[in-house]
Amino acid sequence: MNQRLIRLPQVKAMVGLGRSSIYDRIKRGEFPQQIKLGRSSGWVEAEVQVWISEQIQASRREQVNALAHSPATR
């Protein structure tokens, strides 16, 4: 597992969200918590990657559920 710390610009590029959206999701417990590094912050890259994987899996589940409930599959 990659234990590298990444800064906000990298996180934003990886997840496709803006600063406010990332911090809002952190407050709601829906995004990995940052680690304070003195005056700045960083995220554990592996935790961000896990979050991305979870979003992909959730999207696939939604697609499968939509197909299962569509009139064409009945």
Domain count, the chain: 1
Cβ contacts of 68 within 8 Å, gap of 6 or more: none
- In tens, the pLDDT along 14-58 reads 999 999 999 999 999 999 999 999 999 999 999 999 999 999 999
- The whole-number pLDDT of residue 10 equals 98
Cβ contacts of 73 within 8 Å, gap of 6 or more: 67
Provide the 10 A C-beta neighbour count for residue 6: 17
Domain that holds residue 30: 5-73
